[in-house]
Amino acid sequence: MQKTGTDKKKQTTQLSPFQIKMAELNAKFKVHKENPMMEKILKAAKQYIAEKEANES
């Protein structure tokens, strides 16, 4: 049996409201790419999400 990438697809298509909110924030932060403080905040937010999702699974 050949394994396909269906597992990854499920993860990306089923977005929680929290993930959608963060995606919107990411779009806003991209405007401020030249601002190093914004970069730090964005990195911290991404790390927080990764940890939150790891704890939930």
pTM for this structure? 0.38
- Give residue limits of the domains in the chain: 16-56
Encode pLDDT of 3-29 as tens digits: 555 555 555 567 788 888 878 877 776
Integer angstrom CA distances of residue 55 from 7, 13, 38: 19, 20, 26
* Mean pLDDT on 32-46: 76
Those residues with Cβ within 8 angstroms of residue 25's Cβ, 6 or more apart along the chain or in another chain: 42, 45
For the chain, give the secondary structure using H, E and C. Answer: CCCCCHHHHHHHHCCCHHHHHHHHHHHHHHHCCCCHHHHHHHHHHHHHHHHHHHHHC
What count of Cα atoms within 13 Å lies in the side-chain half-sphere of residue 7?
A: 2
